[in-house]
Amino acid sequence: TFIRENLTSFNAPGNDDWTKVANVLAKFANMPTVDYSDRQYVSKSKTQQQFNPERYDVRQISGEKVPYILYKRGFSAECVKDFGDSVKLIRDLNLTSFDGYNIGFPYRHADSGRVTGYEIRGNGGFKSKAAGTQSSNSFWSADFGADSPQAVRNVYLFESSFDAMAFYQLNKAKIAMSPFAVVSTGGAFTESQVQMVMKKYPAARLVDCFDNDLAGNVYSANLVKHAEKKDLQVSCTENAAGERTMHLSYKNRTVECPANDFSFKDAAKEIGLNYETGHWKAPKNYKDWNDSLLGNQIKNTVTPSKYERDRNLAEKRKSSFKM
């Protein structure tokens, strides 16, 4: 919205506002701009860009000093060392306007182990993916306490690698009781990506560690849907007043609640949906695990969901005096 309201300041090419907005964002991400009036170019652009490892200078992180980006995120030298080759320094050689290094989390194909891209994080909240990263069939992961992926017993899934590292640093003593892995899907994920995770870790239980927000709860629903082949549907509607309502349907039952109150775990219980996937989200007054590590609480503490309010009211009624 900000870009669209200030398009004249960006001097972006395009025949309409949305093409111009897309080209501004493409410029920021060091990606090719697109002129949608060129039908021939549109046809060619449908071919997915291939990840080119030669485009990136990738280096090992020294064990002597934690890079500032990771230090600012609260990670200890011991934590960074534990993740070894799963965390790199990365520089885009095509990006001449910035010659520094960001943090790169290598995405690997579940079968071959070949690097197919990088999840990239930098200062100022910068986040991106390397051009051509194959997010649909690969992901970032780090294994602990296992000689092979087949020995892993629990897989903890996150929206970002930073959250995975924070979870590890905060809960290392608890989760190290059995072989485990942490996985980042880089945000929204596809069914094929979930199947790839399950294929790599065939004996493991999946544990949802997504964010404590609406998107994180929708991801929780989709994880169960794709991993366990549940015929469930999650959707959102908005009325004329702008009020949003979430709908979760399973078999012949549907539960509805205001979007701000939506909790997949509670809604699933309400409609009798049983599943094996676990949940281990950050404490409720934190948006995600990295915020929990940093102590950055949500300014307006998350209010109890509709289901929690109903349970609390029922308990109060039981304990109150009867007239």
The residue count of the chain comes to 323
Residue 25 has pLDDT above 90, yes or no: no
Q: What is the mean pLDDT of residues 197-206?
A: 96
Q: What is the dihedral of CA 122, 72, 163, 302, to 10 degrees?
A: -110
**Using alpha carbons only, how large is the chain's radius of gyration in Å?**
22
Provide CB contacts within 8 A for 96, sequence distance 6+: none
Model's pTM, two decimal places? 0.78
Q: What's the pLDDT at 125?
A: 83
CA distance 160 to 200: 19
Residue position matching structure tokens 């046809």: 43
Q: What's the pLDDT at 315?
A: 62
Least confident range from 70-74, 225-229, 301-305: namely 301-305
CA distance 202 to 40: 44
Q: Are 181 and 146 in contact (CB under 8 A)?
A: yes
Q: What pairs with residue 281 in β-bridges?
A: none
141 or 39, which is more confident: 141
**Each residue's pLDDT tens digit, 279-291:** 999 999 999 999 9
Residue 190 has pLDDT above 80, yes or no: yes
Comparing CA positions, the residue from 169, 153, 154, 210 lying closest to residue 187 is 210
Provide CB contacts within 8 A for 23, sequence distance 6+: 12, 13, 14, 33, 34
**Per-residue confidence band for 317, with pLDDT thresholds at 50, 70 and 90:** low
**Each residue's pLDDT tens digit, 120-146:** 999 888 888 999 998 888 999 999 999
**Each residue's pLDDT tens digit, 103-115:** 999 999 888 889 9
CA distance 79 to 171: 11
Within a 10 A sphere around the Cβ of 305, how many other Cβ atoms? 20
**Each residue's pLDDT tens digit, 224-257:** 999 999 999 999 998 888 889 999 999 989 999 9
Which tokens is 284 given?
A: 């409720």
Which amino acid is located at 107 in the chain? Y
Least confident range from 12-16, 66-70, 115-119, 176-180: namely 12-16
Q: What's the pLDDT at 21?
A: 84
**Per-residue confidence band for 292, with pLDDT thresholds at 50, 70 and 90:** very high
Average pLDDT, the chain: 86
Three-state SS for 227? helix
What is the percent of the chain where pLDDT is above 70? 86
